[in-house]
């Protein structure tokens, strides 16, 4: 029998985890699979995670990103030529799916541009940008979640931002003159455009 507390946890967190998964993989079905696998891992450890100080959401969040990275590594071993093409096709198919909002308004257009730009990044660059600029994580938190060094986070963010500027320079319009992100944008539409601190 399912623990009612676990069911409540799923209801309270599934939208956030699904949103992160969708940005990571660019495909609704793959995102759902990733979230389901994450919850399966959480369920196996629920007895300890549900205790005081157990931090089940932190565990689920880290698990989601680590599972995504594992999938990218497995796929990279299978795909040796143009590995980003499969991801870009997933993003394009997701944008055409019935679950996606209709195109035409500025916010939807921005989301599509962001998805297309993210699809052209390496998996680790995409994860770094999502954590740093969509979820507003620190460099230290991002490094811990991805299992890498802070210097790797900095270098991957720098390379990714350069690539975003090449692919979608209009996304920089969300910056104010001082270089801070426009916080009027929602996480679903905000662009990962903040420069790394030197």
| Predicted model pTM | 0.65
Look at residues 132, 174, 181 and name the one whose alpha carbon lies nearest to residue 153: 132
Q: Where are the alpha helices (DSSP H) in 97-149?
A: 106-119, 123-129, 139-146
Average pLDDT over residues 9-21: 94
Residues 86, 5: Cα–Cα separation, whole Å: 38
Domains of the chain: 1-85 (1.10.1740), 101-198 (1.10.10.10)
The conformation of residue 174, written as its DSSP 8-state character, comes to: G
Q: Cα Rg for the chain, rounded, in angstroms?
A: 17
Place of tokens 């969040």: 61
Q: SS3 for 175?
A: strand
Average pLDDT over residues 178-187: 40
Place of tokens 């994450």: 38
pLDDT digits (tens, 9 = 90+) for 129-147: 889 988 899 999 999 988 8
pLDDT digits (tens, 9 = 90+) for 69-79: 888 777 655 54
> What local confidence, expressed as pLDDT, does residue 175 receive?
37
Could you tell me the two tokens for 141?
A: 């938190």
């Amino acid at each position: 029998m399912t623990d009612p507390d676990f069911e409540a946890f799923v209801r309270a967190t599934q939208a956030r985890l699904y949103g992160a998964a969708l940005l990571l993989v660019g495909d609704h079905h793959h995102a759902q699979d990733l979230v389901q696998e994450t919850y399966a891992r959480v369920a196996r450890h629920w007895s300890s995670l549900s205790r005081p100080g157990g931090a089940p959401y932190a565990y689920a969040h880290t698990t989601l990103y680590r599972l995504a990275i594992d999938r990218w590594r497995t796929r990279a071993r299978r795909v040796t030529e143009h590995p980003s093409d499969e991801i870009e096709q997933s993003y394009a198919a997701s944008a055409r799916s019935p679950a996606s909002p209709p195109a035409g308004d500025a916010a939807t257009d921005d989301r599509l541009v962001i998805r297309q730009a993210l699809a052209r990044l390496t998996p680790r660059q995409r994860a770094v940008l999502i954590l740093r600029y969509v979820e507003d994580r620190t460099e230290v938190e991002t490094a811990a979640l991805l299992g890498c060094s802070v210097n790797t986070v900095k270098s991957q963010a720098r390379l990714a931002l350069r690539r975003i500027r090449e692919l979608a320079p209009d996304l920089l319009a969300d910056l104010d003159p001082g270089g801070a992100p426009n916080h009027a944008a929602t996480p679903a539409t905000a662009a990962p455009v903040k420069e790394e601190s030197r």
